[in-house]
């Protein structure tokens, strides 16, 4: 097995939380090292999945009023609110060094976060294909996809969550 490069970025700008793994994925070749990035955003922001529409998910006026930037990632998955109360893990591997089946890719990439939570004394499990749960409650978001030659799996572990901000910017149907 090839060595894996670990980048501990700490607190970085919202743009850097997305740009660094995208750049590494775009530059990935068979000769580049597989990389895991750990980071947290220095300020809150919103992130859209590749195929999502801003105005169908978030209230753009409320986002602007609150000064929340909205970034789009080149990976699928749902929209989310991200802040410093979360730690991100971003796995960027050459596709030839990853399993062929999606469920096996997630199993490989998410085994370390699950093991870490267990070492912390939490009853963590991988549910379905890519859901990390503790005592039956989802505590992490995950997403993945292919960017050029890279197979990318990203996720976050939530230490706390700002429900008030999230619900204020999320588009909800009128009753």
pLDDT beyond 70 at 174: no
Residue 23 has pLDDT above 70, yes or no: yes
| Rounded CA separation 114/122 (Å) | 9
Q: What ranges do the domains of the chain cover?
A: 4-169
pLDDT in tens, 110-164: 998 999 999 999 999 998 888 899 998 888 878 889 999 999 999 998 888 899 9
Q: Which residues pair with 170 in a beta bridge?
A: 58
Q: pTM (2 decimals)?
A: 0.89
4-169 to CATH, choices 2.40.160.20, 3.30.930.10, 3.20.20.80, 3.40.190.10 = 3.30.930.10
Listed as own residue / partner, the contacts of 117-122 with beta carbons closer than 8 Å and 24 or more positions apart are 117/157
The predicted pLDDT at position 50 comes to 87
What pLDDT, in 10s, does the model give residues 33-71? 999 999 999 999 999 988 889 999 999 999 999 999 999
């Amino acid at each position: 097995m090839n060595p894996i490069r670990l980048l501990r970025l700490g607190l970085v700008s919202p743009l850097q939380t997305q740009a660094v793994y995208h750049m590494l994925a775009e530059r990935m070749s068979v000769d580049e090292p597989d990389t895991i990035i750990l980071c947290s955003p220095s300020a809150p922001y919103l992130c859209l999945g590749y195929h999502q529409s801003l105005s169908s998910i978030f209230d753009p006026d409320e986002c602007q009023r609150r000064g929340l930037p909205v970034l789009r990632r080149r990976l699928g998955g749902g929209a989310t609110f991200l802040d410093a109360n979360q730690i991100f893990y971003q796995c960027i591997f050459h596709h030839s060094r990853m399993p062929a089946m999606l469920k096996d890719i997630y199993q490989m990439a998410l085994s370390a976060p699950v093991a870490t939570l267990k070492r912390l004394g939490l009853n963590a499990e991988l549910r379905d294909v890519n859901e990390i749960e503790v005592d039956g409650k989802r505590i992490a978001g995950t997403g993945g996809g292919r960017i050029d030659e890279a197979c990318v799996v990203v996720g976050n572990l939530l230490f706390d969550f700002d429900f008030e901000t999230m619900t204020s910017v999320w588009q909800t149907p009128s009753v």
